Structure 1
């Protein structure tokens, strides 16, 4: 391509070389080094005057060094009178910090976007941002490419019996991404959620809240308008005839239209009183049970039937130290790691500390948007004193499960979800699929050693060291160079990039 220069950052030289080969060109020459005190030095060794410059730099384990290197390269090209500078970031650094995690937290992704704009970037090309709303942080156009068509194509060609597979999200936040892939492949989808197990008192209050509490009588304005003068003089609260004095329950009186349209007075009885006094209420013309009200009501809109039973295809399991345990496994709340028995906390203290009475302090005043950091979640899953409850929604029995998310950083949630669908859902195979393979710490080794995981699929958006993948047999790396090369070509010639988002079935 004439009038175009592509520079490679130190984070992904192999990806840039493959990208340039697809475009029929070579990476432009630049000298990248560091001084003895750690400062970054950049020298552009070719003329960039009036050229369309693309700088390929992705996040890496040395993320702060790569960011400074990118900013200095952009500034150097701007000083060299480049016509347009485009930053190609296959993995956008700090993209998980796109919202406040606490009241005094920083939105680091927005700060990095401002730095790029101030350095001289006129266009940004990236892949699968953690939150697509991040495009609003920039004051320049952003092409947020998707690896979904590439992943879907790999699934169709490499997963046996993929038409019977189920796409599963390992957390509630990834449901939109999972449903998009499921729709593209025309597959069913499921969900795995993990939460801390609540105390007995808290659970009982949440599952059966305030059973003995009687609501005060409510008289709607429409009811007052329909009442006759004689009915207005009658008391609203009337005792139900039949039960003993110690079990008398006050009920609420209403005026409703019967099948002929005439007003008729009824008394609503609570479910417990109705069960105890079913035989006595049949002879009482002033009170009827909720079932009788539904049968006698003309429209039935207000008294629609409901079923509070557990939904089908919902499986729950216990999670201790990041692994699924049997139902008879001793709870961490009653036994410590050394075998000694700890005292049970006061039930009233547990109830008042539960989320029913006092919701846990959340970022932005309890909006629920500020989730915990990945490291914090990993530490909580591995804590031997904390038990979690894992819920699987969906039918995965004797099927292949595709666990999908945007990145793989820590192994805890992936292993927990894989064990849930295999040990509790009876799935046949599990594919862990993500766009960005960050693999912090010994994540890759733990995923390799997990018996419930069969294959790990990521792209080369994030550089993976050769020593990391030396003994890893489950890892599959998809190439993004063709996607990025086509995006660069279309951007240079002013063509639409919409075809890059489409799924092509071959």
Structure 2
């Protein structure tokens, strides 16, 4: 191989075995490099050979049982920086398992995009090129301003399936979630077999229903659009209570389609007739929804506790009157809407008075929607539901549309097969990463319940954190195959033969050789790439 002697391969403490295997395939020696810690836990790096004007490849995986992942990242950055200051001609970071790859997007407020931060750090440290394998999200390649080669283990996995799975042509490739659908379909097309897709549905049904009933009974909104509101107020929705369409239609038909708000009705939008058609429609819709929820509560026979005399003034006249009669009433009546009662503007036109009640007012000064203060359960025992009142059916409370995050406990996770038929077939689960193993366990159980004959799993990066190895030993799984991008030898010994390690050092070595010689590496992504190794 021309020019191979000019390659300098360095590695830290994260995966020395893989580095040695790659060096053996290239026919070179690993350049001595010592990474150690001082007493204050700071990292010191010493490179034991000259790298001046050399083509340097630094192999360091992002996850390892040998070192902390943050220490592994710091070792990589320090080695890159040391090679840069030592006048290396070109520096390539070879990262089989990219660190923080799951933090690739801002999926909620104030969430960091840590993968982008890591990309910036690697570039600033001195890397001219990055080689990695099976990124969790392919868009991470766009986080870099330098060339990135995202290798794939797909040809090697296809070869394993052809040689190790009996009658593989009757097998089916399965993705355990929607995010891996593209990976599963690609491998299925390569093998010429079918694929299936599993949907993972996290539900916290019981606690959502309990809290929904509490909020309904207190006359509060069932959703809040301000996640960081610390004052305890619930923010308004287009209507105070969200009910299903069928219930709304039922209440309208029961009321005879009447569109006039009588004086006996404490309508949410009740502000007197002003000729405003839009205001009337909103007022009628709010009243209809309120009647619908009252009908549902009557049908459920929820036993309301009597309002004590000393607590009634704290809830407001109209609100307390509604609770005392076992029905939901608006937190305000129309006579409470004087501007003098409003003390401050909360946000988006939401006005809050001195008692903590909120409201929104239209352009004519009439209230559109309003609500009350969200009180702790211990503050008002008369509006808290007792345990015997919560024995209502699932279908009865199914009409309330709960928002995300309404309850964070009591998690019920279910999986169902959305696409494909696995009955009587050998199912092969494909994913890029397994951490705790819980998703894998649920997917394997779902496939077995659906009639799969055997279940295999192919995972690119086997993190197997915590007691995942113990869980693997108990699974109804024929074999879990992981690559050696992460050291897993000890876990394979403890898995009772269910964990198999697939070597990808040949793929990494070939990519290093082709990069050094200026050859194309696109051949490594083709169908017959496994024949090269």
| TM-score (norm. length: structure 2) | 0.62
User: What are the equivalent positions in structure 2 for 1:275-286 lying under 5 Å apart?
Assistant: none
Q: Is the 8 A contact 1:87 1:123 kept in 2?
A: yes
User: 1:153 maps to what in 2?
Assistant: 159
CA distance in 2, matches of 1:144, 1:426: 36
**Secondary structure of 1:490's match?**
helix
After superposition, the Cα gap between the structure-2 partners of 1:472 and 1:348, relative to the gap in structure 1 and judged at 3 Å, is closer
Task: Give the total of aligned pairs.
Answer: 357
Residue number among 492, 509, 512 corresponding to 1:488 in the alignment: 512
Q: Residue 458 of structure 1 aligns with which residue?
A: 482
Aligned match of 2:470: 445
- Cα 1:4–1:412 change in 2 (3 A) is same
> Aligned residue for 1:354?
401
Paired residue for 2:10, among 7, 16, 30?
A: 7
Q: For 1:166-185, list aligned pairs within 5 A.
A: 166-185=172-191
The offset of 1:145, in angstroms, is 0.4
CA offset digits 1:98-121 (Å, max 9, x no partner): 112321111111001101111100
- The 1-side partners of 2:244 and 2:72 are apart by 49
Note the C-alpha offset of 1:348: 11
**1:396 matched to which residue of 2?**
422
Q: Give the TM-score of the pair, scaled to structure 1.
A: 0.66
SS at match of 1:33: strand
Change (3 A) 1:347 1:21: closer
Contact 1:78/1:120 (<8 A) preserved: yes
User: 1:17 and 1:417, CA in 2 relative to 1: closer, same or farther beyond 3 A?
Assistant: same
The alignment partner of 1:469 has SS state of helix
1:123–1:349 distance in 2 versus 1, CA, 3 Å: farther
Compared with structure 1, are the counterparts of its residues 417 and 361 closer, same or farther at alpha carbon in structure 2 (3 Å cutoff)? same
Aligned to 1:304: none
The aligned counterpart of 1:427 is: 452
Does the Cα contact within 8 Å between 1:123 and 1:142 map onto a contact in 2? yes
Number of the residue aligned with 1:259: none
Alpha-carbon shift at residue 353 of structure 1 (Å): 5.8
Distance 1:167 1:208 in 2: 41
The structure-2 alpha-carbon separation of the partners of 1:446 and 1:187, relative to structure 1 and needing over 3 Å to count, comes to same
2:435 to 409, 413, 426: 409
Q: Which runs of 4+ in 1 moved over 4 A?
A: 197-202, 204-214, 345-353
Cα deviation per residue 1:158-217 (whole Å; 9 max; x = unaligned)?
001110001111111111111111111111111111213457999x97797866689x9x
- What secondary structure is seen at the aligned counterpart in 2 of 1:2? helix
Deviation at 1:417, TM superposition (A): 1.0
Partner of 2:5, secondary structure, is coil
* Contact 1:437 1:462 (8 Å CA) reproduced: yes
Question: Which secondary structure does the structure 1 equivalent of 2:75 belong to?
Answer: helix
Residue 386 of structure 1 corresponds to 411
Q: Does 1:32 align with 2:32?
A: no
Q: Write the distance in 2 (CA, Å) between the matches of 1:477 and 1:50.
A: 37
How many angstroms does 1:2 deviate by?
Answer: 2.6
Q: Mind listing any 5+ residue stretches in structure 2 that lack a counterpart? A: 213-241, 258-386
Question: Alpha-carbon deviation of 1:410?
Answer: 1.5
Quick check: 1:445–1:472 contact (8 Å CA) kept in 2?
Answer: no
SS of structure 2 residue aligned to 1:430: strand
Task: Give me the whole-angstrom Cα distance separating, in 2, the residues matched to 1:195 and 1:207.
Answer: 24
How many angstroms apart in 2 are the aligned matches of 1:177 and 1:142?
A: 19
Picking from 448, 466, 470, the partner of 2:494 is 470
1:248 alignment partner in structure 2: none
Secondary structure in structure 2 of the residue aligned to 1:466 = helix
* Offset at residue 445 of structure 1 (A): 1.5
Q: Distance in 1 between matches of 2:111 and 2:526?
A: 37
Can you give the 5+ residue segments of structure 1 that lack an aligned partner in the other structure? 217-339, 363-375
Aligned to 1:500: 524
Distance 2:440 2:432 in 1: 12
- For residues 58-137 of structure 1, the aligned pairs below 5 Å read 58-59=61-62, 60-61=64-65, 62-137=68-143
Deviation at 1:347, TM superposition (A): 8.1
Q: Does residue 1:162 correspond to 2:174, yes or no?
A: no
Secondary structure (helix, strand or coil) at the match of 2:99 reads: coil
Whole-angstrom distance in 2 between the partners of 1:149 and 1:37: 45
Distance 1:75 1:353 in 2: 57
**Local SS of the residue matching 2:94:** strand
Where 2:41 maps in the other structure, the secondary structure is coil
Q: CA deviation at 1:16?
A: 0.5
